[in-house]
Amino acid sequence: MTSVQKNFVEGNKEYAANFTQGDLALPPSQKYAILTCMDARIDPAAAFNITLGAAHVIRNAGASARAAFRDIVVSQNLLGTTEVLIVKHTGCGMLTFDNEGGRSAVKQNKGDKAAEEVKDLDFLTFQDLEEKVKEDVEWLKSKAVEEGITITGWIYDCKTGKVRSVV
Amino acid sequence: MTSVQKNFVEGNKEYAANFTQGDLALPPSQKYAILTCMDARIDPAAAFNITLGAAHVIRNAGASARAAFRDIVVSQNLLGTTEVLIVKHTGCGMLTFDNEGGRSAVKQNKGDKAAEEVKDLDFLTFQDLEEKVKEDVEWLKSKAVEEGITITGWIYDCKTGKVRSVV
């Protein structure tokens, strides 16, 4: 077992020993979803005040609405949520490269066969944080499948821990 | 502002007021990623003992490795992680329907135009939890881009708060 796995298993033992919320329902009690980045510096439950069982938390590289389309459709059509908050953040890794750079990194790290596997992969990077929040919200709002859903966009500041409203 | 947004903003104010970790680095300090479900009953930081800044946390509907391929590639090739833990869970919503059911739900909830938007969407549902953990791990291991990466599979029990190793 790696040290990462040991930390995971040992930490979980402690969590489970004090766990008292085994009867929560599958559908989110507060009927919303948060879409944010996988970035290690974000703890959504703590930073966004999410009670256990209250909300879906979707996380991917860059908090991309396009990459999360399946998740959002499931959240709203199968599990009854009616609101989505898209929360991107300062200092996002997805601001630091583009498709060409991503593919080069793979080729350099893992070789030609790996490069072949990602040759059509859209990394969905972006260059302007605030614009991308707006664009993602707009894109999602343009979908018929989002009819009646409240969609807002926010930026989390990794230096201060503060969120601010964008759109 | 909706009550969901009020809770988000007010809760964040309190979090930011006590925030002291503004200097964490972008790459995860413990060099690993956790892929788990967006399910509202999972709090990865608490349940899996993830220190702020330590790990990428990727969350989608069903903890799908295929849906998270882009995120995993970014985590490992751009941000230096070398280990992935795939954590699916008991009572997952993705065990309760299939592509046909998903598309019907969209059509019923949002109408024909919405149904058209998801007609080619693969919901990536599954029927056997343990088998799907194994299959996802195997699929990821088969990729050249995963060479040298430690990949393990786990199941989190929403009733007990406990994880167990699958593969």
Contacts of B150 in chain A (CB under 8 A): 2, 4
The residues in A 125-154 lying below 8 A from B, measured between CB atoms, are 143-145, 147-148, 150, 152, 154
Across the interface, which of B2, B22, B34 has its CB nearest the CB of A150?
B2
Give me the mean pLDDT over the A109-132 stretch: 97
pLDDT in tens, A3-61: 999 999 999 999 999 999 999 999 999 999 999 999 999 999 999 999 999 999 999 99
Tokens standing for residue B68: 């998270």
Residue B12 to residue A48, Cβ atoms within 8 A: yes
Tokens standing for residue B41: 């009953």
Give me the mean pLDDT over the A62-75 stretch: 98
Tokens standing for residue B74: 């970014």
In B, minimum Cα distance to A161 occurs at B16
Contacts of B28 in chain A (CB under 8 A): 40
User: Cβ distance B82 to B31 under 8 Å?
Assistant: yes
Is residue B22 very low, low, confident or very high in pLDDT (cuts 50, 70, 90)? very high
Structural domains of chain A in order of their starting residue, each with its CATH number: 26-95+127-165 (3.40.1050.10)
Residue A21 to residue B163, Cβ atoms within 8 A: no
The residues in A 66-105 lying below 8 A from B, measured between CB atoms, are 67-71, 73-79, 83, 85, 91, 93-94, 96-97, 102, 105
Residue A22 to residue B158, Cβ atoms within 8 A: yes
User: Cβ distance B61 to A70 under 8 Å?
Assistant: yes
Distance CA A93, CA B78 (A): 8
Residue of A71, A112, A152 best to disrupt the B interface, most CBs of B under 10 A: A71
Residue A79 to residue B93, Cβ atoms within 8 A: yes
CA B149 to chain centre: 18
pLDDT in tens, B70-79: 999 999 999 9
Tokens standing for residue A13: 């033992």
Q: What is the pLDDT of residue A157?
A: 98
Tokens standing for residue A135: 């664009």
Residue B47 to residue A118, Cβ atoms within 8 A: no
Give the burial string for A99-111 (b: 16+ CB within 10 Å, else e).
Answer: eeebbebbbebbe
Give me the mean pLDDT over the B78-89 stretch: 98
Select from B96, B117, B97, B122 the least CA-distant residue to B106.
B117
CA gyration radius, chain A? 18
B56 marked as part of a ligand binding site: no
ipTM above 0.85, yes or no: yes
Give me the mean pLDDT over the B135-155 stretch: 97
Calculate the average pLDDT of chain B. Answer: 98
B158 marked as part of a ligand binding site: no
Distance CA B93, CA A53 (A): 14
Q: What is the pLDDT of residue B4?
A: 98
Residue A24 to residue B41, Cβ atoms within 8 A: yes
In B, minimum Cα distance to A34 occurs at B38
